[in-house]
Every structure is written in C-alpha cells, then in structure tokens.
Amino acid sequence: MPVDTRVLQQGAKRLTQKSRSNFYFSFLFLPKEKREAIYSVYAFCRHSDDLADQDIPAERRMEQLDAWRGHLDACYEGRADTPVLQALARTVERFHIPKVYFEELIRGVEMDLTRCRYRTFDELYPYCYRVASVVGLICIEIFGYRNPRSREFAEHLGVALQLTNILRDVGADGERDRIYLPQEDLERFGLSESDLLSRRYDEVFIRLMAYEADRAESYYGKAYEALPPEDRPNMLAAEIMGAIYHLLLERIRSKRFDVFHGKVSVSDWRKFLLAFRLWAGNGFRA
C-alpha cells in the first residue's frame, strides 16, 4: 500500500506545533517505522479533534464526525482513498491495532459537542479515557508489549495527562464556557461556576486546584505501578511523554495554580533534556 511520506511529515509538523513539541520530543528516539506509524495515528487523532473544534454549528460538526467514522470503516476494510488514511491503514494492519480504540476517540471528541459540564469525576473519567487513554492504548500496540498490564499503564497515564491538561487550561476552557473540573469538587470547596468563569483567583481556588492536582498525581503513580518491568524498554516514548507532563504539573503547582495569567508550559530545552536522560537511562535504545 503506497504511503506519501510528505503527508506524514506535514502531519507531524502540524501536530508538534499545536502540542508545543511534546509529541516531537516523546517520539524523537523511536525507530523510523514506529515513528511514522505514530505520525499516521496522530494525523487521524488531530483531524478528529479539528473536526470537533470547527467554528460551525454543532450539528454540522457531528455530521462531519460521523462521515469521518465512515472513513475509518473504509480504512479497516481496505478502501482508504487518501494518503493520510492509507498510511493509517498500513499502520493498523502492521501493528494489529483494534478499531474500537479509534471509535472511542471519535466518541470522545463528540462529547465536547454535547456537554460542557461534569457532575462527578466518575462522569469525567470516560471523557479522559476516550480522548487520552485510548491514544496511549493505540501507541503501545506500536511500541510493542508482552504483559497485558501495560494496557493499565497506558490507560492510567492517559488519564493523568488529560487531568494535567484540564488544570492548565481552566482559564482557556472557561472562555469557551467549558468546565471540566467536577461540579461536586467546586461545591466541596465553596466555589461556583461563575467564580471559575470570572477567573476568581484566591486561596479557595488554590485549594481546589491542589485537590485536583493530587488526583492527577495519583494517576501518574498508578500508571508507573502498573508498568511491567519486562515491557519498560519499549515504553520509552510513553515515559518521556509522562515525564514532560508531570513536569508541567509541577510547574502549575509552583505557580500556585495561577493558570489565568499566561499559559504554563515546559521549555523545549527541558523537554529535550528529559527525553535524553530517559533515553540514556534506557541504554540508548528506542
């Protein structure tokens, strides 16, 4: 099946620009075949996300996501008709990636079109799983693993990453009238939706955010507790991603959770240093 590598490279470039290079540094040390497979997966994920974020009526976006689901069917049935989908078809065939993961991803981005509040963390969890954990589950099929517990690692790490994103983006999401912090948590600390949307920053908000950060921290812990030692060498890219986002969580803490005045980020040189240290610690293997 022919693959237009220029499309893969362009997709990777768009992806790293939007992600502030987190993906680039995470996948830097992968062998070429696996790196290009990852690019094909993320091109699909990125396009799914872009369809959901268009500035058109939600009904139209739902229609386009449904059509995109049809393209996914074609990909798995040998009928892919664009370079990006042909690349994905090659990847899913080569690495035996279950179709259900991509279906769950589309369901996840669709959730942003139908709800912008979550009553409890139990309600939020499926969203985190669909938009983040399933991406990890796809990736570990490409990385390779022997112990099924590696799937637990991928699921927990995905939740940790998404919770970190939610904390970083409280202000930006509020501008779009989206609140991902569970409503019951706001009530527990005596905050209202209007407090959050008006960017109330005080000791009460800091306590709420510390509570949420502790939850994210617990999922980083669960992830690494679940990672089987025999599979760890193959999970270098996932560990780099986890280290970058964990450092981001630490940066949010160090700013006392002031996520309203400038976006908290990790510099490229720190990302590279983290990636290099983990790669070196892995015996210079990918």
Tens of pLDDT, residue by residue over 16-62, are 445 446 777 888 889 999 999 998 998 999 899 999 989 899 999 99
Q: What pLDDT is recorded for position 239?
A: 95
pLDDT average, residue stretch 253-272: 93
Task: Yes or no: say if 92 and 75 are a contact pair by the CB < 8 Å rule.
Answer: yes
Q: Number of folded domains in the chain?
A: 2
Task: Yes or no: say if 190 and 205 are a contact pair by the CB < 8 Å rule.
Answer: no
The one-character DSSP state at 77 is T
Write down which residue in 83, 114, 145 finishes a domain. 114
- Checking if the pLDDT of 7 tops 80, the result is no
Residue 46: which domain range?
A: 1-114
Say yes or no: 79 and 90 in one domain.
Answer: yes
- Checking if the pLDDT of 11 tops 70, the result is no
Write down which residue in 99, 114, 129 finishes a domain. 114
Task: Yes or no: say if 160 and 195 are a contact pair by the CB < 8 Å rule.
Answer: no
Q: pTM to 2 decimals?
A: 0.91
Q: Which residue has the tokens 């955010």?
A: 209
- Checking if the pLDDT of 5 tops 70, the result is no
- pLDDT tier, 214 (very low <50, low <70, confident <90, very high otherwise): very high
Region of poorest pLDDT, from 11-15, 161-165, 200-204: 11-15
Write down which residue in 114, 130, 146 finishes a domain. 114
Task: Yes or no: say if 185 and 216 are a contact pair by the CB < 8 Å rule.
Answer: no
Neighbours of 119 (CB within 10 A): 11
